[in-house]
Amino acid sequence: MDVYTYDALKKISLHLNAKSKKDNGFGKTCQILLAITFCRLGFKVENYLSQGVDIDIWNHSQYPNFSVEVKTTIKGTVQLGEKDVEGLRKKEYEGYKTAFAVLLRDSLSGWLIVNAKGIKYGNIPLTRLNTPTRVLPDLQKEVNQVFPQGKRI
């Protein structure tokens, strides 16, 4: 992610947080932009802003159907709730592959897109997610190439 995008996201989240007692402006904004990115990559997309999983993506010529839980963090860890893991487990029964998309808030490194199968809930170090057996490298690369650049926000 470039510096312009990061600055724009910070401004949007500050505005949203000023109107809400919940500190979810940044994360929800990133989730919406990630859903738009999946659309640009050719997926059909369902973006959920309330309960359950965050994004379902399907009908792509190169990728299976995915159910994605979106997280942002300011640390080297990410908090995965029991409801997050259970929601993805339910989607597996519906035939979806499952993934976590994690954006480190104070970094310009972009999205980490990983296979969620078998991950337990709790406070997970990013080093445990960012491994060759977890990362979905092709999807991650495409997302980070298409994710909004600041000059287009």
Q: pLDDT (tens digit, 9 = 90+) per residue, 48-68?
A: 987 789 999 999 999 999 999
Whether domain 3-145 has CATH 3.40.309.10: the reply is: no
Q: What is the pTM of this model?
A: 0.83
**Does residue 124 have a pLDDT over 60?**
yes
Q: What is the mean pLDDT of the chain?
A: 85
For the segment 135-153, the average pLDDT, to the nearest whole number, is 80
* Residue 16 banded pLDDT, cuts 50, 70, 90: low
Please name the residues in contact with 49: beta carbons below 8 A apart, sequence gap of 6 or more.
28, 31, 32
Q: Which residue has the tokens 């995008």?
A: 5
